[in-house]
Structure 1
Amino acid sequence: MFKLIGLCLLAGVLVAGMLFPVVGAAGVMSNQASETVEKTSSDLADIPPPLVTTVTDNAGQPIATLYDQFRLPINENQINEAMKWALVSVEDKRFYEHHGVDWQGTLRAAVSNSTGADTQGASSLTQQLTKNYLINVVYRNDPIGQKKAQEQSISRKLKEARIAINLETKLTKQQILANYLNIVEFSRQIFGIGAAAHAYFDTTPEKLTVPQAALLAGLVNNPINNDPWKHPDKATARRNLVFDRMVENKKLAKADADRFKGEPLGVVADGPKKGAANCIGAGAEDGFFCQYVEDYLIKAGFTKDQLYTGGYTIKTTLDQRANHEAKASAEAQVDKTQPYIANTLSLIKPGKQRHEVVALAANRDYGQNPDAGQTTYTLPAGVYNSGGAGSSYKVFTTAAAMEKGIVGIYTPVDVPENYVSHVFTGGGDSCPQTGPPLRSRWYCVGNAGDYSRVAQGANIQTALATSPNTTFVELEDRLGSTAPAIDIARRLGMRDTMASTIGGGTADPKSQDEKKRLSQAQVYGPNGNNPGYGAFTLGFSPLSGLELGNVGATILSGGVWCPPTPIGAVTDRNGKPVPVKEAPCEQAVPEGLANTLAVGMSKDDQPGGTSFKAASGAGWNRPSIGKTGTTQANVSAAFFGGTPQLAGAAMTFKFGGGRGGICDGGPGQVSLCGGGRDGNIFGGHAPARTFFGAMKNILDGQPPADLPQPDPQYMGGGAR
């Protein structure tokens, strides 16, 4: 009884359905329903399908793919006859006869389904195109919308039918077929025949054989159930059914069908052939760079969904040779599986128009297996070195004092064994033993080693090369607060670093926790009567290695700061350029100051300089700038500098836990000392060896470039 009633109701609706193309919405649907259909039709036209975004190096060589749906679009001329007839035969054999809706097939399916016979489908390929477009494109992130697009209701069928008829008035049969084959799912994030041909058979749609086409045509009905790797028996049965339907449709000889049924499925071994859906596909070496590209573009205004569905081509500034040398050098110093230690190297091209990042490398591999030394944290670029860069920050105190005319690079300076600040408070390990009041009130500092020889005839240039702590805390005293040094650190390049919290995270103004609410600039800078933290010049705060390297690029660019960009060009799915919003370059400090500071930093790799041993060991013989740094208890160390052609920073730091400082017994022998012991690593050890080891090979064959000439205004600048 209920089946008979249902059949009668369906018949009435189908009659109305056959009429509505003629009488219009007024005779079948309400105006509201008609508007819904038109809106859906518009959605089909206005919402493009998700495509694969390709990330390339600076030579245009692909390094990674980003996608939500692995889809390689094709046009109607790229579908061969085997694929066309396999699909039409099994899904809609009257495709070339009807006008969007196969009423004969619909009535036959209705009778069969309502009388208890085998359930049969009734949708034409044009209708299936409509449904698949709604599911896979319009509502791909909307489970409710997807459910509505698949509900077994008369109203949904009528809407789908009307859209299909509308599409048939606007598109040719070949265009409809191509659109369908571009949209339909083939399981495992594989969408469209272009991607399916590649992933299943490592071929293109034009080259599909009859058995290959039959397998793919059979998949669209239930791709998960007929997955040839998980369910080869079901996939074979479904493929063979397609052969039979092609025979029935007179598109394949029975003898050929019987022969094809005996062939293996022939899919590629070990699952579909397709790149990873994210930066994991860039591999162990290039993954950090790819991740920085993604993060950079999101910061520039792209959404992650746009990047993973937009079908962009992102040409980056990555130099794969430089990146390989950087990775090899970082890993030569610290093994990738060494627990709790990261060793990174970031390299940037100086310039007054752009600062292009060419390499972002680490001893760790980029990946998701920590046991194999892998991580997806952007160690070379992010604010992950929580230990700090040590004495590298003395450059900021120096630059601030030069800008204010307090000193020049040849100004004589004192190098006392200990120094007690008369500006900053906070105690210290090197206070003279004159009683508790002094220890509790003033900031006291000593040197790490004997500087008695350096003290004779020392000036700012030699102090930068030998790095006595006392000299730069005294210089910071003369500035009166940390504000000038913090400000110039930000201007020269430490922008995200200074804006981050003391834990390295993003400052949240709404947080009740000061450590999460305040930026480093706020925490370490003056506040009321507090002139700031005197230890700022000794670099104990979290930082980004990429930004520290960009400081070197700014100094070597005549004081012009530019954002460290990984972007060469971005084009959309149609090949049109896409503008990327980047911060404009700016003159961070006077050019004369920057040029003179470069000369002031030019002796670090010379005899007596803190990186001399590492530089000479690498055979380094180019004019360059440099500054090393080591933090308290040797929990991290750094080196930054460069030449006019290439600048950068290397950092060795604790990452992910562990106790004790870092000990350095030479290349490949860097590890935590364990317990509460201080280590013996310094910026002139693993970081400097990493830097010079990579730079020597990268710049090999390029003529040495001279450093700029100093400006007399910043050469003297005061007396001792």
Structure 2
Amino acid sequence: MVGLCLLAGVLVAGILFPVVGAAGVVSNQASETVDSMSAELADEPPPQLTTVTDRSGKPIATLYNQYRVPTKPDQISDAMKWALISIEDRRFYEHTGVDWKGTLRAAISNTSGGDTQGASTLTQQYVKNYLINVTYRDDEVGQQRAQEQTIARKLKEARIAIQLEARMSKAEVLAGYLNVVEFSRQIYGIGGAARAYFNTTPDKLDVNQGAMLAGMVNNPAVLDPWNNPEGAKNRRNLVLDSMVDNNKLSESDAERLKKEPLGVVKGGPNKPAANCIGAGPQHGFFCQYVEDYLIRSGISKEDLYDGGYTIRTTLDRRINRIAKRSAEEQVPKMQDNVANTLSLVRPGKKRHEVVALAANRDYGLDKEAGETTYALPSDTWNVTGAGSSYKIFTAAAAMQHAGVGIFDELPSPGSYTSSRYTNAGAPYTVGNAGDYPPTLTLQGALAKSPNTTFVHLVDRVGIKPVLEMTYKLGMRRTMKSNAGNGGAIDKEDEREAHTMSQRKYYGPRGNSRGMPSFTLGVSPTNPLEMGNVAATILSGGTWCPPTPIAEVTDRDGNPVKVDENPCQQVVSEDLANSLAVGMSKDDLPGGTSAAAAEDVDWSRPMIGKTGTTQNNVSAAFVGGTPQLAGSSMVFKPERPTGGIIDGGPGNVYSVDGESAGNIFGGKAPARTWFNAMSEILEGEPVRQLPSSSPRYE
């Protein structure tokens, strides 16, 4: 009896002095929660899905942890409202937030060894669901506290409910509850539930539909209508009976409705995928890059999936569709462990916008159908490198640090032994894969690609300037992540430091093993970054991050600033323009991509460079025009044990064991690039490359 009297005193204190609260029972944390739960709940709105669109604003995917469609009080049907009130809180319009008789009855049950279940008003349930599904949605301990069957928790809940009723109308409380409550399968709120279960909107929910949804909130996982249709139907019928008891439905209508099926959509909920799977096989890789890019820019994944953003991307659907078709024409999507990617970027001095990220594989979860969720075009999955395309960096370093001009004659012997580096103490010797004249200009060497010429240039300038140039021109994440011969960049300082003097290089130095082989492209490579290198060169030496973001707005339509790295003038415009001229002969007769260019009657001025790794286990082509740049790479996403055979379009496959392949950068990669670019640029004006500078000729 003494305990009950004390309890009554606490409850009265909660009624009369809701702001002060019951000393010693309601925690400071609860007080803070009360203050945040205002009528608008603006301090912490419920999680809302993020929409990802293409460049024109057409949605391609949704990202969410909780599928929720915000709904206003006047957007909910009366049938839905009365179904919920009848089963959960018949005196909803009579109390001020707490049903004191029920609460005392539950408390007495608790003191006599019972539990505190029941007696919660819709307002109290709103509080509990808000704490579980919003405030503590990622805090398991907090969720457990919000559901504890204790007097202290009940009092805390009651106190908050009183506060809410003092600040909110009944219509707002009811809509607030219906916006946060769970309906199973990541579906939260009546807006999402109406669409997912009945393919309708909350204002059109009829009595039968409203009764089923009102019944589900009691135990959404157990009463899932697809997993437990009988249980869901029985619970729906109970709600119909409660509506009869509450004088909101006639008994005859209730009996008639009980005979009707549940009426949910067939096969499962009608809701979009919760992640980039929803972007489909064509656009999934782009969506994945958008997600990764924003997370690296400082937006947490939780915020990205809960924040209700609208992300307009730079994706060009037409270009992406052409790029994917070209990749698939060269390498079948079902070809085991052979990927073909095509990344396309628009050059510019203010932005480098990514317009396409395509692969022969489809983006998805069905491995048997050739699908994958590896970010193939935008991450460093190629374990075997990009081959001689890395000679671009050696050429640029030699131009900047050794005064080499693009028309300077350079040696190209059949074999060359480094005068500066050794191979585990033995001489480092490299040979060419074909026959070359004894000397070539740098321009000719970039087109024909003799290994000896570029190892000779590494000897002249040293490896460090080559590594620095590789990073400057665009291989930022590649140089940070790979532990191969290129060395790695120190820590996650990419957003703070943008000059090479602020960076440290780790990995082989001096006479360390294999250093000259860096110019032969043996290190793991990010395909998108390789395409952005061409964009940097065609932007007069201005590097910009390859961005997939056009704009981001919050749930209220306000712009959100994305913390992107600023563009940088990484080499002089004269050097970049001269390097572009140096790379302008690859598609012409004698160049390594000439055959692929001839197949599509290519006639536009362009830059290009092919690359092939040892034993033909991967190959690449990087190139661009003033309008569009990019790279195609063919490789094995899983660690290779053999080469790749290129038997022509649609006949590219993997070789098992240690056997070498016959693929080259001038084959499938170049064909992928030229076939796509010729169609993409059809009808576009022909733009000339910049002129070279006498300083670098």
TM > 0.5 fold call: yes
- Is the contact between residue 406 and residue 578 of structure 2 (CA under 8 Å) also seen in structure 1? yes
SS at 2:410 equivalent: coil
Per-residue CA deviation, residues 266-297 of structure 1 (Å, 9 max, x unaligned), is: 11111111122222222222121111111111
**Within the alignment, does 1:420 sit opposite 2:417 as a pair?**
yes
| 1:571 and 2:556 are equivalent in the alignment | no
Structure 1 residue 522 and structure 2 residue 506: aligned?
yes
Q: 1:448 aligns to what? A: 433
Spell out the pairing of 1:13-28 with structure 2 (5 A cutoff).
13-14=7-8, 16-18=10-12, 20-22=14-16
Residue type of the alignment partner of 2:70 = P
* Counterpart residue type for residue 238 of structure 2: L
Which of 634, 643, 663 is the aligned partner of 1:681?
663
Task: State whether structure 2 residue 576 is matched by structure 1 residue 594.
Answer: yes
- What is the aligned partner in structure 2 of residue 377 from structure 1? 374
SS in 1 for 2:506: helix
Q: Indicate which of 680, 698, 703 corresponds to 2:680.
A: 698
Aligned partner letter, 2:626 = P
Letter of the structure 2 residue corresponding to residue 542 of structure 1: P
- 1:706/1:156 CA distance change after superposition, 3 Å: same
Alignment partner, residue 339 of structure 1: 336
**Residues of 2 paired with 1:118 and 1:35: CA distance?**
25
Aligned-pair CA distance for 1:445:
1.8
Match of 2:22 among 19, 29, 33: 29
Matched, 1:606 2:588: yes
1:253 aligns with 2:250: yes
Q: Tell me the residue number matched to 1:432.
A: none
The number of residues matched between the two structures is 682
The question of whether the paired residues in 2 share the 8 Å contact of 1:367 and 1:375 is answered with yes
Question: Counterpart of 1:327?
Answer: 324
Counterpart CA distance in 2 for 1:478 and 1:400 is 10
Partner residue of 1:53? 50
Query: Does the aligned pair in 2 maintain the 1:112–1:120 contact within 8 Å?
Result: no
Q: TM-score, normalised by structure 2?
A: 0.93
Report sequence identity in percent: 59
- Matched residue, 2:634: 652
| Displacement after TM superposition at 1:153 (Å) | 1.5
Match of 2:295 among 291, 294, 298: 298
Is residue 484 from structure 1 mapped to residue 465 from structure 2 by the alignment? yes
User: Of 325, 345, 349, which aligns to 1:352?
Assistant: 349
Q: How does 1:10-409 map to 2 (within 5 A)?
A: 13-14=7-8, 16-18=10-12, 20-22=14-16, 29-30=22-23, 33=26, 35-44=28-37, 45=41, 46-106=43-103, 121-404=118-401, 406-409=403-406
Superposed CA deviations along residues 385-420 of structure 1, whole A, max 9, x for unmatched, are: 121111111111111111235321122233322222
Give the corresponding residue for 1:433: none
Q: Distance in 2 between matches of 1:574 and 1:603?
A: 52
Task: Describe the shift of the 1:211–1:119 C-alpha distance in structure 2 as closer, same or farther (beyond 3 A).
Answer: farther
Greater Cα offset, 486-495 or 407-416 = 407-416
Instruction: Write the letter of the residue equivalent to 1:20.
Output: G
Once residues 469 and 327 of structure 1 are traced to their aligned partners in structure 2, the CA distance between those partners, rounded to angstroms, is 32
Counterpart residue number, 1:459: 441
Amino acid at match of 1:493: G
Amino acid at match of 2:472: R
CA contact (8 A) 1:482 1:531 kept: no
* Offset, 1:659: 2.2
Aligned partners of 2:352, 2:107: CA distance in 1, in Å? Answer: 67
Q: What amino acid does structure 2 have at the position aligned with 1:496? A: R
**Which residue in 1 is equivalent to 2:653?**
671
The answer to whether structure 1 residue 497 and structure 2 residue 497 are counterparts is: no
> Is the CA contact (8 Å cut-off) linking 1:497 and 1:520 kept in structure 2?
no
- The correspondence of residues 502-581 of structure 1 with structure 2, limited to 5 A, is 502=483, 521-524=505-508, 526-527=509-510, 533-581=515-563
Amino acid at match of 2:543: W
Higher deviation after alignment, 275-284 or 98-107? 98-107
**1:501, 1:520 within 8 Å by CA — same for their partners in 2?**
no
* Whole-angstrom distance in 2 between the partners of 1:629 and 1:658: 17
Shift of 1:102: 2.1
Contact 1:500 1:520 in 2 (8 A): no
Residue 624 (structure 1) shift = 0.9
Q: What is the letter of the counterpart of residue 120 of structure 2?
A: S
Moved more, 666-675 or 128-137: 666-675
Alpha-carbon distance between aligned partners in 2 of 1:83 and 1:623, rounded to the nearest angstrom: 65
Cα distance in 1 for residues equivalent to 2:607 and 2:19: 77
Distance (Å, rounded) in 2 between the aligned partners of 1:520 and 1:369: 42
Contact 1:663 1:679 in 2 (8 A): yes
- Secondary structure at 1:360's aligned position in 2? strand
How many angstroms apart in 1 are the aligned matches of 2:605 and 2:621?
Answer: 16
**In the TM superposition, what is the alpha-carbon distance from 1:520 to its structure 2 partner?**
11
- Distance in 2, matches of 1:31 and 1:19, equals 12
Q: CA–CA distance in 1 between the matches of 2:237 and 2:59?
A: 38
Task: Indicate if the aligned counterparts of 1:134 and 1:146 stay in contact, CA closer than 8 A.
Answer: yes
After TM superposition, give the deviation of residue 263 of structure 1 in Å.
Answer: 1.4
Q: Matches of 2:25 and 2:90 in 1, distance apart?
A: 34
Cα-to-partner distance string for 1:607-653 (whole Å, 9 max, x where unaligned): 11111111121332221110001111111111001111110111111
In structure 2, relative to structure 1, the CA distance for the partners of 1:606 and 1:421 (3 Å cut) is same
Once residues 25 and 118 of structure 2 are traced to their aligned partners in structure 1, the CA distance between those partners, rounded to angstroms, is: 28
1:42 partner letter: D
The separation in 2 between residues aligned to 1:506 and 1:193, in whole angstroms, is 51
Q: Which runs of 5+ in 1 are unaligned?
A: 428-439, 511-518, 716-720
Root-mean-square deviation over aligned CA pairs: 2.6
For the Cα contact (< 8 Å) 1:53–1:312, is it kept in 2?
yes
Contact in 1 for aligned 2:605/2:687 (Cα 8 Å): yes
Separation in 1 of the partners of 2:505 and 2:636? Answer: 23
Name 2:689's counterpart in structure 1.
Answer: 707
Contact 2:479–2:488 (8 Å) recurs in 1: no
- Cα deviation, 1:226-283, whole Å, max 9, x if unaligned, reads 1111111111111112222222222223332222222111111111111222222222
SS in 1 for 2:409: coil
